Chain A
Amino acid sequence: MSAFRLHNTGDQVDLQTVMTILLQVLVGGLSLGVLYAIVALGYTMVYGVLQLINFAHSEVFITGGIVGYFVFHALQDSSMNGYLKLVLACLAAMIVSGALNVVIERLAYRPLRGAQRLVPLITAIGVSLILQDTLKFVVGLTGMFDLSVTLPKGFTSPLTKFAGIDITSLNLQVKDVILLVVATLMLIGLNLLVNHTRLGRAIRAVAHDRQTAGLMGIDSNRIISLTFLIGGALGGLGGVMYAMKYQALNAYSGMAPGMKAFSAAVLGGIGSIPGAMLGGIVLGWVETLLGVVSLFSALPGLHWLSYIKAEYKDLGGFLALILILFIKPTGLLGKSSTEKV
């Protein structure tokens, strides 16, 4: 993206370049945003049912990425269709991460049900650390610290045409579109699940009032397990998407994106599912925009933008979070706490 420079030829600014950069931000930010969103959902769904911040989710997420790496690696020389490889990687990652999340809840959080809130919170941090070291061990078995992901052929090809229009200037690769499509489908699927199925209603009922849900014949422990399963599976899928996007990861790669996804969940209103989706996308856009905004410093009157260096983009996401929480403490779509029983 930084390949672009705005040319200020007298008073004439290259409008087309500005538009191209904005389009890049729109599309690039969206694909980053949906990635944050599916990871953010894991935080927000678990928070919804247990009022617990599952710090281990960043490791559950990157576990999916590592599983994805192994699947791609194992199938590297297979003549199998690339999309089929991707499906297998996603399925394996979702199963492993989902199951891992269920086990974490069962072993670490359930015994602490009813304890003061700080206790499971600290436990969550502990689980996160244990998983990091476990992952480091597993990754270490390959003899490497950093894994570099070999994607199926064609995934990294540049995308030149969309609906007949030349989009070479957007610098997109096939994998960016895959990410966008897969993550968006997941978000739609989750929305359908939560809003239009018996299980989804049960999840929302348990999230709001576990005791009364019990009076409806709902086994809240089962629903909590299922919530961890779904949240973990989404995280695992996010991990594969991450591995695909950056093609490099290690046992600690979950931390930074995990933190950002958590911020996205808070930004959107922790506990709110549409909030996590919106928060993720907003964060993706803010971050991507901040990464290129200094390019606009060539425009008249916008000279000061040159101070916003691309390296600040991570900071920018958190600043956006603080700003929004300052204006609306419950997050964009968060319910006021008095509505919770």
Chain B
Amino acid sequence: MSADNITAGAAPLLELRDVHTYYGQIHALKGLNLTVNPGEIVALIGGNGAGKTTTLKTVSGMMKPKQGQVIYQGQNISGIPSHTIMQRSMSHVPEGRRIFPQLTVRENLEVGAFTITNRKLIEQRVQEGFALFPRLKERETQLGGTMSGGEQQMLAIARALMVSPKLLLLDEPSMGLSPLFVEAIFDIVERLNREHGTTILLVEQNANMALAIAQRAYVLQTGEIRLSGNAADIASDESVRKAYLGDE
């Protein structure tokens, strides 16, 4: 742990080197190169089917790259199953939230803390989650599946935070939410980064908002990086504005 902290400033926390990922014959990622430095919010934007979700799945071990390397904390983790990777202070909030609908809110959080065996620490993290999302506290004993989409997204994020991750992968947290919830979720994401130093790789179709809170960004198109750089520069890029930010 302490060794990581010393080198943290220099080495990237996450690095993808020439990553190729397939769904059967479908070549979804075509030689992706991407870095995320400690403490950053990096936005990954792009249209539907560009490969954003596949990128996150390849990082968290849900998918195995056919070629290339995923380097996390200096180690090549490509091909390691996700349950092993998730024991290394990384969390992935998957697309569509994927909370456990038949488990209560509290149980969802406790499952999120599965890799922690210290009961006191689990309880502490549950309370931290409730402090972050007071609404979850009100719903503590309710089944996850009975909550609104926005509440489920809060639960999915809180569940991912149970292990106090160094790297948080967020897949379209604003999808299908009312503007009020979107605002709240982005607020929390920014706060996590600012107050806890959590490094975040944020996938969004809502590019405007993502670029507003990110330091750097990558634009993905049909499995390849089209553009990368400072979020502010990307946000003002003519072609990006046309393609992803709704400008005519």
**B115 at the A interface (CB under 8 A):** yes
CB neighbours (8 Å) of B145 from chain A are 339
A335 to B111, CA, bound (A): 21
- Among the listed A204, A213, A214, A220, which residue makes an inter-chain contact with B102, where contact means beta carbons less than 8 Å apart? A204
A53 to B84, CA, bound (A): 29
Q: Are A201 and B110 in contact (CB under 8 A)?
A: yes
Q: Are A201 and B62 in contact (CB under 8 A)?
A: no
CB neighbours (8 Å) of A204 from chain B are 100, 102-103, 107
CB neighbours (8 Å) of B101 from chain A are 208, 339
Q: Are B103 and A212 in contact (CB under 8 A)?
A: no
CB neighbours (8 Å) of A198 from chain B are 110, 114
CB neighbours (8 Å) of B92 from chain A are 215
- Among the listed B61, B62, B91, B100, which residue makes an inter-chain contact with A205, where contact means beta carbons less than 8 Å apart? B100
CB neighbours (8 Å) of A335 from chain B are 102
**A209 at the B interface (CB under 8 A):** yes
**B64 vs chain A, min Cβ distance (A):** 13
Name the interface residues of A208-256: CB closer than 8 Å to any CB of B. 208-209, 211-220
**B234 vs chain A, min Cβ distance (A):** 29
CB neighbours (8 Å) of B194 from chain A are none
Shortest Cβ distance from A209 into B: residue: B98
CB neighbours (8 Å) of B86 from chain A are 214-217
A62 to B91, CA, bound (A): 44
Q: Are A217 and B98 in contact (CB under 8 A)?
A: no
CB neighbours (8 Å) of A202 from chain B are 111, 114
**B141 at the A interface (CB under 8 A):** no
Contact-size category for B: 20 to 34
**Chain A interface, DSSP helix/strand/loop, else mixed:** helix
A270 to B114, CA, bound (A): 26
CB neighbours (8 Å) of B102 from chain A are 204, 208, 335, 339
A106 to B222, CA, bound (A): 39
**B171 vs chain A, min Cβ distance (A):** 11
A212 to B145, CA, bound (A): 15
CB neighbours (8 Å) of B229 from chain A are none
**B59 vs chain A, min Cβ distance (A):** 11
**B116 vs chain A, min Cβ distance (A):** 9
A208 to B112, CA, bound (A): 14
A208 to B143, CA, bound (A): 14
A202 to B116, CA, bound (A): 13
**B82 at the A interface (CB under 8 A):** yes
CB neighbours (8 Å) of B82 from chain A are 211, 214-215
A202 to B83, CA, bound (A): 12
Name the interface residues of A147-206: CB closer than 8 Å to any CB of B. 198, 201-202, 204-205
CB neighbours (8 Å) of B83 from chain A are 213-220
**B87 at the A interface (CB under 8 A):** yes
**B28 at the A interface (CB under 8 A):** no
Q: Are A214 and B62 in contact (CB under 8 A)?
A: yes
Q: Are B60 and A215 in contact (CB under 8 A)?
A: yes
CB neighbours (8 Å) of A211 from chain B are 62, 82, 94, 98
**B176 at the A interface (CB under 8 A):** no
**B44 at the A interface (CB under 8 A):** no
- Among the listed B61, B81, B84, B112, which residue makes an inter-chain contact with A216, where contact means beta carbons less than 8 Å apart? B112
A220 to B110, CA, bound (A): 17
Q: Are B111 and A214 in contact (CB under 8 A)?
A: no
Q: Are B100 and A217 in contact (CB under 8 A)?
A: no
Q: Are A208 and B115 in contact (CB under 8 A)?
A: no
Q: Are B114 and A217 in contact (CB under 8 A)?
A: yes
A307 to B103, CA, bound (A): 48
A174 to B184, CA, bound (A): 64
Q: Mark interface residues in B206-241 (1 if CB within 8 Å of A CB, else 0).
A: 000000000000000000000000000000000000
- Nearest 6 interchain pairs by C-beta: A217-B115, A217-B86, A214-B82, A212-B98, A214-B83, A219-B83
> A213-B111, A215-B83, A216-B86 known; 11 other A-B pairs, CB under 8 Å?
A198-B110, A201-B114, A202-B111, A204-B102, A208-B100, A208-B102, A212-B98, A214-B82, A215-B92, A217-B86, A218-B114
- Where the two chains meet, the residues of A that have a C-beta atom closer than 8 Å to any C-beta of B are 198, 201-202, 204-205, 208-209, 211-220, 335, 339, 341
19 contacting pairs across A/B (C-beta < 8 A)? A201-B107, A202-B111, A205-B111, A208-B101, A208-B102, A208-B103, A209-B98, A212-B98, A212-B100, A213-B111, A214-B83, A214-B86, A215-B94, A216-B112, A217-B87, A217-B114, A218-B111, A220-B83, A335-B102
